[in-house]
Copies of this chain bind each other. A is one copy, B any other.
């Protein structure tokens, strides 16, 4: 659990909304999106708005206490787990699961040094089709192609 002191920096004020959003994220392992976070936050503070959720996710990511995960088209998911790891995103439903493997963070400094880019971080993301989204034909073949589901409809 990230301490309040970590969340307070010059020009930044720690509101109960921001702390709530972080706590929700810390308590979950399912990488929720902004809407799901909003839903859970409303159980505690019904007046909270979507804009506040987005703004705070952005601030928390800037502070480095959470990570944004790109799903390539389903809206970002977020992760507040402290142990570095990578993600496996379903190409069809956007679901995200953890992969217990990541690159050394010293690589970020190395890339920064070689390119002149500042504040370098990285994301190692795998993309695939999850068992729930794969069709029978795809499972049999062990390979997902795009239009199998269409031919199975009829």
Q: Which residues of A contact B (CB under 8 A)?
A: 11, 62, 68, 70, 72, 76, 88, 90-91, 97, 99, 103, 108, 111-112, 115-131, 134, 138-139, 142-144, 146-147
Known: A124-B124, A125-B125. A118 touches B144 (CB 8 A): yes
Chain B: which residue is nearest A147 at the CB level? B11
Q: Are A142 and B118 in contact (CB under 8 A)?
A: yes
Q: Are A117 and B128 in contact (CB under 8 A)?
A: yes
Known: A103-B124, A124-B124, A147-B11. A129 touches B119 (CB 8 A): yes
Q: Are B121 and A127 in contact (CB under 8 A)?
A: yes
List 14 A–B pairs whose Cβ atoms lie within 8 Å, in order of A's numbering: A90-B117, A103-B124, A117-B126, A117-B131, A118-B138, A118-B139, A118-B142, A118-B143, A119-B128, A119-B144, A120-B126, A120-B128, A123-B124, A125-B125
Q: Are B146 and A117 in contact (CB under 8 A)?
A: no
Bound complex: CA A28 to CA B124 (Å): 25
Chain A's interface: helix, strand, loop or mixed, by majority? mixed
Bound complex: CA A131 to CA B72 (Å): 26
Bound complex: CA A107 to CA B117 (Å): 28
CB distance from A118 to the nearest CB of B (A): 4
Q: Are A124 and B122 in contact (CB under 8 A)?
A: yes
Known: A111-B88, A126-B121, A126-B122. A131 touches B116 (CB 8 A): yes
Bound complex: CA A115 to CA B90 (Å): 11
